[in-house]
Amino acid sequence: MTPPAIDVTDLSFRYPDGTIALDHVNLRVDAGEHVAVLGPNGAGKTTLALHLNGILRANSGRVHVTGLPVVKANLGEVRRRVGIVFQDPDDQLFMPTVRDDVAFGPANLGLRGAELDRRVEDALGAVGLLGHGDRTPHHLSFGQRRRAALATVLAMRPEVLVLDEPSSNLDPVARRELAELLRTLPQAVLIVTHDLPYALELCARAVIMNDGRIVADGPTRTILRDAELMRANRLELPPGYDIDRA
């Protein structure tokens, strides 16, 4: 049997100041599944995401990605399998050119020459930036930088993608272009977002987190229709948004 892409069991995490960020969280995401993680600020969404490739280490519980335990001995392979695209693309773009940024991860895996070039071209092509490889990242538009940041992750050929607020600060065209791209990705995708229409557009399933716990898990449309659940977790659709016509 194929193991789940993400398998989180009884995961708890407390920050050094004593704040409980995760409280016995359980989550399974299957290969190829796209899942939205919703919830108010401080719910634990980003903290959960940072456990998936070992940036944070749990106080208790366990995390497996595609069957591999997320433990210190496996971190190199875990970080190849799980790519995180942060909310601010400038956190991931630091080289002189876009091509250099996209090549950085595969080069660290030992790829060289034609194989490395092919990996870079494939990633740039996947995000629609084939003609931009020699440009300086800060000369790109914000939407292009976000796609370049995604390319740096895709170049590692991960099995799991985690995107933190992918639609934030995008104009309507860039928002639509990114959605069209994300829909085509074959990987398991976890989208952490406050953008509820984007969650509905891209993810058939959603979970709601609050106070470090998963408090709801089900079809995105069903969750967004539950007015009492939405109010209890400080979630609100945009004024005038008609979920039945979406």
For the stretch 31-41, pLDDT in tens is 999 999 999 99
The residue extents of the domains of the chain are 6-89+159-245
Residues 6+ apart with CB under 8 A from 68: 74, 77, 78, 81
pTM equals 0.94
| Domain at 6-89+159-245: CATH code | 3.40.50.300
Q: Is the pLDDT of residue 156 over 90?
A: yes
Confidence of residue 246 (pLDDT cuts 50, 70, 90): confident
For the stretch 103-133, pLDDT in tens is 999 999 899 999 999 999 999 999 999 999 9
Q: What is the mean pLDDT of residues 80-92?
A: 94
Rounded distance, CA 148 to CA 208, Å? 29
Q: Is the pLDDT of residue 244 over 90?
A: no
Give 64: exposed, middle or buried? Use CB within 10 Å, 0-12, 13-18, 19+. Answer: buried
Which residue is associated with the tokens 């740096």? Answer: 152
Given this model, what pLDDT does residue 181 score? 93
Given this model, what pLDDT does residue 211 score? 96
Token readout for 56 is: 């944070």
* Residue length of the chain: 246
Given this model, what pLDDT does residue 82 score? 97
